[in-house]
Structure 1
Amino acid sequence: MRIVVIGGTGHVGTYLIPRLVTAGHEVVNFSRGIRRPYTDHPAWREVRQVVVDRAAEDGAGTFAGRVADLWPDVVVDMVCFDVESARHLVDGLRGRVAHLLHCGSIWMHGPSLRIPVDEDDESEPAGEYGIQKAAIARLLRAETAGGGLVTTSLHPGHISGPGWPVITPLGNLDPSVWTRLAAGEPLLVPGLGAELLHHVHADDVAQGFQLAIEHRDRAAGQAFHLTAPSALTVRGLAQQAASWFGRSAELEFVSWDEFRARTAPEYAEQSWDHLWRSQYASIDKARRLLGYAPVYAAEAAVREAVAWLAGNEKLAVTLTGG
């Protein structure tokens, strides 16, 4: 098949595009042309690259036409964050493309009311990112249910892997979390440490997209979670991470007010956004309909990311055990 991937040099596309090329598909990557994939692979030499400014072309009403004019069988949209942009793409592809796949987020759901949360959970999404991802998922479901374009939305957890910073046990991107755990220093933890984080390796997300492409009839009109098999509590991930440095986690539990007072505002807000949601997303549906079988446990996905940061002088720690 001819497959167009929009934003294919990001976290998931780094793994998805080589998978598709290896499976024998013709792949075209639409991107702004400012980033190389995080991991090199010989398959990239077979990929046609198209440089495009999506925001500008959406504004001009030309983006969907540029995609459709390539007559792809499948379009994978990795970088749509606005329901109007999704609507524009759907309208332009209807009747011209066999399958549109969208990368969403488990933040399409709001703070957990029951766990694990399934794809039909109707908790109110929070924040503009989550609200838009939920609206896009509804738009795509309605489009396919109404007899229009065949669509699928796939919703990863906290995407982890080599090449970029990873969500820490505190639900933020503060590198000092790792250095404190590595040094055996006390780590401030807001709340009880029982809040949940649900990571996933980028290649496992790519696996889910490939399966949805290969099983179009089963994926039609569906939404799927793509996460590691289990979520981890804050204290559980902290203890796992400390063991990678030959340590035990020294956790100091404090109120959210104290945590905010002693943490940089950016990182405190990131922690709140993740830990307040406390999400554990079920992958039963993806397993049943697609055969999704994630390779990485959540802690293994995070460890690989931390090891890459340390090995590339992005983080001053040394992993020893775990």
Structure 2
Amino acid sequence: MKIVVIGGSGHIGTYLVPRLVRAGHEVVNISRGKRAAYADAPEWAQVEQVTADREQQDADGVFGDTVAALRPDAVVDLVCFTLDSATALVERLRGETGHLLHCGTVWRYGVSHRSPIREGEGTPPFGEYGIQKDLIARMLKAETASGGLATTTLHPGHIVGPGWHPIGPLGNLDPEVWRTLSAGRTLRIPGIGAEHMHHVHADDVAQGFANAVERPEAASGEDFHMVAPTAMNVRGLAEAAASWFSQDADLETVTWDEFRAGAKAEHADASWEHLSRNHVLSIEKARTLIGYAPAYQPDEAILEAVRWLIDHDRLEVERPLAV
């Protein structure tokens, strides 16, 4: 097939584009052309690169024309964040493209009431990002159900991989968390540490998209969670991370007010966004319908990312990794 990937040089596309090439597909990557993929691979030499500013082209009403002009059999949209943008693309591709696959998010759900959450059974989202992604997923499902364009939405958890900072044990990007754990110092955690996060390696998400491309009959009209086989809570991830440096995690539970008082606002806000949702997602539907088989547990994926950051002088720690 000829497959157009929109935003293929990002976290997921870094792994997805080479997968699609290895599977024998003709691949076109549409991006702003501002950066290369996070990891190099020989398959990129076979990929056609198209430079386009989606935001500007959406404003001009021509982005759908850019995609349609490539005459793709399938389109993988990794960088769509508003209902208006998604709707415009669907309307332009309807009747011309066989399958549109959209990257959603587990933040289409709000706070957790039941675990694991099955597709479509979470609470209503909060925050503009999650709200828009939920609206897009619902629109795509309705589009296919009404006999229109065949669509599939895949909802990743917190994407992890070498080349960027992972969401850490406190649900934020604060590098001091890793330094504290590596030194065996006391880490203040908000709440009681039982709050969950559901990470996923970027290559596992890529696997899910590739499987859905290969199984359009099973994937059409569906949405799937793309997460690791298990989720980890604050305590578990902190203890695992400390052990990578031959340390025991020394955790002090504090109230959210106390935590905010001792943290930068950006880190405290990120912690609240991640931990208040307390997500644990089911992947049974993806396993059954499209053969999704994630290779990484959350701590394995995060360790790989932390190792890369340390090796490339992007993260300072007190002790070297012992694993």
TM-score bracket for the superposition, by shorter chain length: over 0.9
- Matched to 1:320, the amino acid is L
Indicate the percent of aligned positions where both proteins have the same amino acid. Answer: 58
1:129 aligns with 2:124: no
Maintained 8 Å contact 1:307/1:319: no
SS across alignment from 2:225: strand
Q: Which residue of 2 aligns with 1:91?
A: 91
Q: Which residue of 1 aligns with 2:31?
A: 31
Q: Once the 2 structures are TM-superposed, how far is the Cα of residue 122 of structure 1 from its aligned partner?
A: 4.2
Maintained 8 Å contact 1:30/1:51: yes
Provide the rounded CA distance (Å) in 2 between the counterparts of 1:66 and 1:33. 15
Provide the rounded CA distance (Å) in 1 between the counterparts of 2:281 and 2:35. 30
SS across alignment from 1:213: helix
Q: Which residue of 2 aligns with 1:149?
A: 149
Q: Which residue of 1 aligns with 2:310?
A: 310
Task: Please show how residues 239-258 of structure 1 align to structure 2 within 5 Å.
Answer: 239-258=239-258
Provide the rounded CA distance (Å) in 2 between the counterparts of 1:279 and 1:205. 17
1:183 aligns with 2:183: yes
1:46 aligns with 2:31: no
Q: Which residue of 2 aligns with 1:201?
A: 201
SS across alignment from 1:16: helix
Write the deviation string for residues 216-270 of structure 1: whole angstroms up to 9, x where unpaired.
0000000000000000010000000000011011101000000000000000000
Maintained 8 Å contact 1:161/1:302: yes
Provide the rounded CA distance (Å) in 1 between the counterparts of 2:162 and 2:287. 25
Provide the rounded CA distance (Å) in 2 between the counterparts of 1:233 and 1:23. 36
Provide the rounded CA distance (Å) in 1 between the counterparts of 2:281 and 2:135. 18
SS across alignment from 1:159: strand
Q: Once the 2 structures are TM-superposed, how far is the Cα of residue 320 of structure 1 from its aligned partner?
A: 2.9
Q: Once the 2 structures are TM-superposed, how far is the Cα of residue 35 of structure 1 from its aligned partner?
A: 1.1
SS across alignment from 1:277: coil
Provide the rounded CA distance (Å) in 1 between the counterparts of 2:140 and 2:248. 46
SS across alignment from 2:55: helix
Q: Once the 2 structures are TM-superposed, how far is the Cα of residue 319 of structure 1 from its aligned partner?
A: 4.2
- Matched to 2:24, the amino acid is G
Write the deviation string for residues 126-174 of structure 1: whole angstroms up to 9, x where unpaired.
1000001100000000000000000000000000010001000000000
Maintained 8 Å contact 2:186/2:250: yes
1:268 aligns with 2:254: no
Q: Which residue of 1 aligns with 2:77?
A: 77
SS across alignment from 2:133: helix
Q: Once the 2 structures are TM-superposed, how far is the Cα of residue 321 of structure 1 from its aligned partner?
A: 3.0
1:17 aligns with 2:43: no
Provide the rounded CA distance (Å) in 2 between the counterparts of 1:70 and 1:124. 37
Q: Point out where structure 1 has 5 or more consecutive residues left out of the alignment.
A: none
Q: Point out where structure 2 has 5 or more consecutive residues left out of the alignment.
A: none
Provide the rounded CA distance (Å) in 2 between the counterparts of 1:289 and 1:232. 25
Distance 1:100 1:319, change over 3 A: farther
Q: Once the 2 structures are TM-superposed, how far is the Cα of residue 100 of structure 1 from its aligned partner?
A: 0.2
Q: Number of residue pairs matched?
A: 322
Write the deviation string for residues 151-202 of structure 1: whole angstroms up to 9, x where unpaired.
0000000000100010000000000000000011111100000000110000
Provide the rounded CA distance (Å) in 2 between the counterparts of 1:19 and 1:207. 8
Q: Which portions of structure 1, spanning 4 or more consecutive aligned residues, are displaced by more than 2 angstroms?
A: 317-322
- Matched to 1:218, the amino acid is A
What TM-score does the superposition give when structure 2 sets the normalisation length? 0.99
Provide the rounded CA distance (Å) in 2 between the counterparts of 1:31 and 1:86. 16
Write the deviation string for residues 52-110 of structure 1: whole angstroms up to 9, x where unpaired.
00011001110001101111000000000001000000001000000000001000111
Provide the rounded CA distance (Å) in 2 between the counterparts of 1:138 and 1:152. 11
Provide the rounded CA distance (Å) in 2 between the counterparts of 1:206 and 1:239. 29
Q: Which residue of 2 aligns with 1:320?
A: 321
What TM-score does the superposition give when structure 1 sets the normalisation length? 0.99
- Matched to 1:116, the amino acid is P
